[in-house]
Amino acid sequence: MYAFTYHRPGSARQAAGLLAKKEDAKILAGGHTLLPTMKQRLASPAALVDLGGCGDLKGIVRKGRTLHVGAMSTHAEVAASAIVQEAIPGLAYLASHIGDPHVRHRGTIGGSVANNDPAADYPAACLALGATIVTNKRKIEADDFFTGLYETALEEGEIITKVVFPVVSKAGYAKFRNPASRYALVGVFVAKRGSEIRVAVTGAGEGGVFRWPEAEAALKARFAPKSLDGLKASAEGINADMHADADYRAHLIGVMAKQAVAQATGK
Amino acid sequence: MASVSMTVNGKPVTGTIDPRTLLVQFLRENLRLTGTHVGCDTSQCGACVVHIDGKAAKACTVLAVSLEGASITTIEGLAGEGGLHPMQEAFREHHGLQCGFCTPGMIMSAVDIVNRRGHQLDEKTIREDLDGNICRCTGYHNIVKAVAAGAEAMAGQGMERKEPPRQAAE
Amino acid sequence: MTATGIGASVRRKEDHRFITGQGRYTDDINRPGQAHAYFLRSPHAHATIKSIDTKAAAAMPGVLGIFTGDDLAADKVGGLICGWMIHNKDGSPMRAGAHPALAQGKVRYVGDHVCVIVAETLAQARDASEAILVDYEVLPAVVDTASAAGAKTVVHAEAPDNTVFNWHLGNKDETEAAFRAAKHVTKIDIVNNRLVPNPMEPRAAVGDYDDGEGIFTLYTTSQNPHVARLVLSAFIGIAPENKLRVVAPDVGGGFGSKIFIYAEETVCVWAAKKVGRPVKWNSDRTEAFLSDAHGRDHVTHAELATDADGKITALRVKTTANLGAYLSTFSSSVPTYLYAPLLSGSYDIPAIYAEVDAVYTNTAPVDAYRGAGRPEATFVVERLVEVAARELGKDPAKFRMQNYIKKFPHQTPVIMMYDAGNYGAALKKALEIIDYKGIGKRKRESARNGKLRGIGFSSYIEACGIAPSAAVGSLGAGVGLWESAEVRVNPVGTVEVLTGSHSHGQGHETTFAQLVSGKLGIPIENVSIIHGDTDKVQMGMGTYGSRSGAVGMSAIFKAVDKVIAKGKKVAAYVLEADEADIDFADGHFSVKGTDRKLDFGSCALQAYIAHKFNGQDLEPGLKEGAFYDPTNFTFPAGVHICEVEIDPQTGLTKIERWAAVDDFGNVINPMIVEGQVHGGIAQGVGQALLEGAKYNSDGQLVTASFMDYCMPRADDLPSFEVGMTVTACPSNPLGIKGCGEAGAIAAPPAVINAITDALGHEDIAMPATPQAVWRAAQKSITRMAAE
């Protein structure tokens, strides 16, 4: 790691102040992407603003038909939350399958969403559930938030404070893990909210998480795994690497989508 | 340099450290607690797992300076005064280790599994929850046996789990 | 059998320190005043170094010294060596290029050592490395094993066609005649994938120099500290052996990769004198991927001839072995004498001919990795036999049984004289464990669930207990492969055993103590095993090739016998009897036909008090040493059966069952032996399903971390069902064969045979990743639909 100065504000407001003041400062949330990158000397922020002391970024509450998850909620907290399990069990399931138990104890939803790793799990849930990413400055719809590989609508110094999920009637997630890294080789989150169906795919897109309209249309007729029979995602725009080429990933999108629907419908 | 105070294995410690000091470096180099190991640089092998405020975490991926006021337990402090923790004993009894390098992290992870999941652990649960710990020697066979036995032994010794088991939709 | 003697599953004596975090690994050692080394490594697979400018870096904070290959050369520090001479078919010696510890004018693989920075802290050394300006002229890289020979780019001028040697073994004419007469010939083309050993403890070294005494000390992660000292002293020229101490403390796994003498420890111990400070280097995992010696990497065409009855009549093999950019310490022996002599497998094959071409490429050096040559041979034989059985329409178990060697000793056409075995017994037991009769039903059940189930056999054999010194000497080895032991009995009857073997997970502190406590009839707590320090143990050859039981323990056995013989002399004086009348049993010396006896501890005390005998007739003390040189290799063998279920939708292969029946001869500690089997299988499954080191065409290692190189994890594996059969090894006093590599040797063909059985075709390579299996399964589905 290169040297940096360390700051631990007590609130999001203080954090924003520090970010504005410090040259080349980066936000430290759970640190499970940033710190390994810094260890490899691939990132060299001059200052780190650790959100770990910001009590206002914690907490999971349900408000009517919405679920509010504080940005510094760890994956383990989301997975174990009775509120999440009751409101959107598919989201709790997703959180319980991110990384490994140790990663889940430290990694946070805000960090994951802000980083927008193309193989991360949360972006799929945000996009499929139609979440709202709330920052210290504004509210951003998930549809507008994920703008490309490791890119989001966040502006310099903007801090995610919470993610608000609509409580949907049905939701499910399935992923096929990269055997080595255990990140999603392909992950599909499906959600049914009233008559609206959304299917979001992570791990596979050259530009990061994306929606799969053909599957959404097929599931609109009937929200059942069978509705996806014979439906194959196009390999165009699909990521290829040494672990999986575009054809295989495209195929897995269909398989995972079916499994996600089966989970969502309890079948 | 920055100052940090935390509790390690029940004892208060204070250090003046470069902010880039990782918890594992703080433990190994400043406190000379060398039982916590480093086996990779991508946060995957789990040789460095310790408990931070009772939860398993990779000490190679946490800044020591961020742990002001935290309570850390390492393999050296697991058993308390004298004797062995039931999980340590189970690893010995079931030959859950060979070269011993991954062992401290494995044992700390195993105790964490029991803390989260309770004392009756089936093979599938154990194997899935050991996802963050790599062993190159044992083929995991005896580690799995050791974790199951250690979990039961912990119940026998009044080490009841601290949190309700997870009920995620699995 | 006593509770702690031979054959008992004694819990390990060494475990207490490991489970309490008190193991002492090299990185746990910190010397006063210690500085840190960082190696600047080549980012290019192949380049000429036009210049290295260290000026700015040398002025950076904390920097104590920056050294290049020129500095080593100026101090007359020699290059790294390859300790096994292989001769070409025409009798000429192999063509080896120089292997400097730090580059001299050229780098030949990504990770090659350009220079070393020694600084007060590791961060400072690394900071300084970024200020070093190296002017490279990048050259094209040779990467691919199959096409390296004769490629335009030359790795070493000494081997102008990139071929280190063209070697062969066996009888060509007889083999060709047998093929001409064959009823059926089975042909396969296979790749034995390159692997990265990845012991969980990365390599490390701490060099120290005592200027007052002129003595160097090297603490390092070694499987054989004495061989390291010998090479560093006699060949590299660091210091004479009496001025160089090598300590290998607790070592966190080796699997072969810590046998070799690498650049880093050589440079650290040398640099300690240069900077006048202890110098520590600890590999990170990325460095380990780049610079630890890799394993395997063969490309092979193989053929098997059978007659009208389905009897195997001949086998021929053409293999190209990639040795990487330099010849590592034992690299040349691996695809030759550790490979081709095992090509008879468990089978009676009258004619065998093997040709092996070894090539240089711009990749990390390749050397012994768990099994070393024998997994490659077993993969060839067991894939060939499986495919042959399928082509001939024969049950693979019956086909194996038909062709097994059934009479011992058996001389194969490729050097080896198998001394004992019962392969049929192992097969029968394995078939029972796996419930072979029920496989049809289980396959149908899987099919009903949309899954493909398959079963795969592997009937392996290995040559362990390496090795008879005269035999390996005649084959090109630079050293003899005996082992030493010294048994020191203290005046109170406790015992210290000094062994040249090294334990890095194998549990020697327990098994060796079992042997000694059992033979001497003393409590196991009274026996300590000392190893891994050249100041304590005089000489030894270390631990690899499953040799520590068969060879290392045999040396201890001999030394203990000498202790008992000496004890009898002491007892004769004390008990006032004739030496010939003294018996030793259950920890007591006694006079035949009387009730006069002396316990072992009292005898030891008397040996040191020495009042009862004349020092001229009998020397005081009780301490004996022995060197044991084996008379033959040992031949562990067995049958592993793997059952898999494939999800054709995802290509995910799940190992459902694993039956392993091994014949390791007599077993000292079944718990430890089974543990070795489990670990070996896991590495073999890793090779078959998960692991593969891949270089791109520029010679960049694209699998250089656990993010991309897939290590087996707990949920990739099942629990294993392990059984044993025993035919004692006749060539050593304990009847031991060795168990360390069996699983890694047996597993890969078992897995691939199971997958190909499930798929119904042979078109799958290692590692059989989900993508590869999915693609292969589509072919199966298409074919099944067509049928």
C253/B35 CB distance under 8 A: no
DSSP C108-152: -STT-EEEEEEESSHHHHHHHHTT-EEEEEE------TTT-TT-S
Q: How confident is the model at residue B158 (pLDDT cuts 50, 70, 90)?
A: confident
Which chains have 3+ CB pairs within 8 A of B?
A: A, C
Q: Does C202 touch chain B (CB under 8 A)?
A: yes
| C12, pLDDT greater than 50 | yes
Strand-pair partners of A67: A62, A165
Q: What is the pLDDT of residues C730-762, one digit of tens each?
A: 999 999 999 999 999 999 999 999 999 999 999
- How high does pLDDT run on average in chain B? 93
Q: How many angstroms from the chain centroid is the CA of residue A83?
A: 19
Q: What is the predicted pLDDT for the residue at B170?
A: 34
Angle between helices C508-520 and C554-574 (to 10 degrees): 30
DSSP C432-493: HHHTGGGHHHHHHHHHHTT-EEEEEEEEEE--BS---HHHHHHTTBSS---EEEEEEE-TTS
Phi-psi region of C532 (alpha: psi -120 to 50; beta: other; left: phi over 0): left
- How high does pLDDT run on average in chain C? 97
- Chain C from 360 to 399: CB within 8 A of any B CB: none
Among A40, A243, A248, beta carbon nearest to C774: A248
Among B61, B131, B133, beta carbon nearest to A31: B61
User: What is the token pair recorded at C519?
Assistant: 């033979």
Q: How confident is the model at residue C419 (pLDDT cuts 50, 70, 90)?
A: very high
Q: What is the predicted pLDDT for the residue at B160?
A: 57
- Nearest-angstrom CA–CA distance, C347 and C402: 9
Mutate to test the interface with B, among A48, A100, A170, A178 (most CBs of B within 10 A): A100
Q: What is the pLDDT of residues C587-642, one digit of tens each?
A: 999 999 999 999 999 999 999 999 999 888 899 999 999 999 999 999 999 999 99
Average pLDDT on C413-431 reads 97
Distance from CA of C771 to the nearest CA of A (A): 6
Which strand (E) or helix (H) includes residue C173?
Answer: helix C172-181
Mutate to test the interface with C, among B20, B74, B137, B138 (most CBs of C within 10 A): B137
Q: What is the predicted pLDDT for the residue at C1?
A: 59
Q: Which of B74-83, C420-429, C630-639 has the lowest mean pLDDT?
A: B74-83
Q: What is the predicted pLDDT for the residue at C783?
A: 76
Which chains have 3+ CB pairs within 8 A of C?
A: A, B
Closest-approach residue (CA) in chain B for C251 = B99
For chain C, what percent of residues have pLDDT higher than 90?
Answer: 97
Among B52, B63, B112, beta carbon nearest to A6: B63
| C86, pLDDT greater than 50 | yes
- In 3D, which of C85, C184, C194, C175 has the Cα closest to residue C355? C175
In the block, which residue shows the tokens 């084996």? C630
Classify residue B13 by burial, with Cβ atoms within 10 Å: 0-12, 13-18, 19+. Answer: middle
Q: Does B62 touch chain A (CB under 8 A)?
A: yes
Q: What is the predicted pLDDT for the residue at C3?
A: 87
How many Cβ atoms sit within 10 Å of the Cβ of residue A211?
16
- Nearest-angstrom CA–CA distance, B137 and B54: 28
Q: How confident is the model at residue A16 (pLDDT cuts 50, 70, 90)?
A: very high
Average pLDDT on C185-190 reads 98
Angle between helices B141-156 and C670-685 (to 10 degrees): 120
Mutate to test the interface with A, among C193, C284, C649 (most CBs of A within 10 A): C649
Alpha helices in C552-643 (DSSP H): 554-574, 600-609
ipTM of the complex: 0.97
User: What is the token pair recorded at C695?
Assistant: 């270089």
- Nearest-angstrom CA–CA distance, C158 and C143: 18
Distance from CA of A236 to the nearest CA of B (A): 31
Among C123, C651, C708, beta carbon nearest to A180: C708
Mutate to test the interface with C, among B21, B44, B98 (most CBs of C within 10 A): B98
Answer whether 0.90 is exceeded by the pTM.
Answer: yes
- Nearest-angstrom CA–CA distance, C164 and C182: 34
C774/A255 CB distance under 8 A: no
Which chains have 3+ CB pairs within 8 A of A?
A: B, C
Closest-approach residue (CA) in chain B for C740 = B137
C651/A248 CB distance under 8 A: yes
Q: How confident is the model at residue B161 (pLDDT cuts 50, 70, 90)?
A: low
Q: What is the predicted pLDDT for the residue at B82?
A: 72
- In 3D, which of A102, A78, A101 has the Cα closest to residue A90? A78
Whether C673 and C664 have beta carbons less than 8 Å apart is answered as: yes
DSSP C752-778: HHHHHHHHTS----SS--HHHHHHHHH
Which strand (E) or helix (H) includes residue C35?
Answer: strand C35-41
DSSP code of B26?
Answer: I
Interface of chain A toward chain C, CB-CB under 8 angstroms: 1, 40-41, 176, 179-181, 242-245, 248, 251-252, 255
Residues in chain A within 8 Å Cβ distance of B73: none
Average pLDDT on A210-223 reads 97
Residues in chain A within 8 Å Cβ distance of C703: 180, 242
3-state secondary structure of C717: coil
- Chain A from 105 to 164: CB within 8 A of any B CB: 105-106
Whether A170 and A88 have beta carbons less than 8 Å apart is answered as: no
Q: What is the pLDDT of residues C636-689, one digit of tens each?
A: 999 999 999 999 999 999 999 999 999 999 999 999 999 999 999 999 999 999
- Chain A from 28 to 67: CB within 8 A of any B CB: 28, 31-32, 35-36, 38-40, 48, 50, 52
| A206, pLDDT greater than 60 | yes
Whether B89 and A60 have beta carbons less than 8 Å apart is answered as: no
| A178, pLDDT greater than 90 | yes
Angle between helices C374-391 and C742-759 (to 10 degrees): 30
| B166, pLDDT greater than 50 | no
Angle between helices B103-117 and B141-156 (to 10 degrees): 50
Q: Does C22 touch chain B (CB under 8 A)?
A: yes
Distance from CA of C567 to the nearest CA of A (A): 57
Average pLDDT on B109-132 reads 97
C702/A251 CB distance under 8 A: no
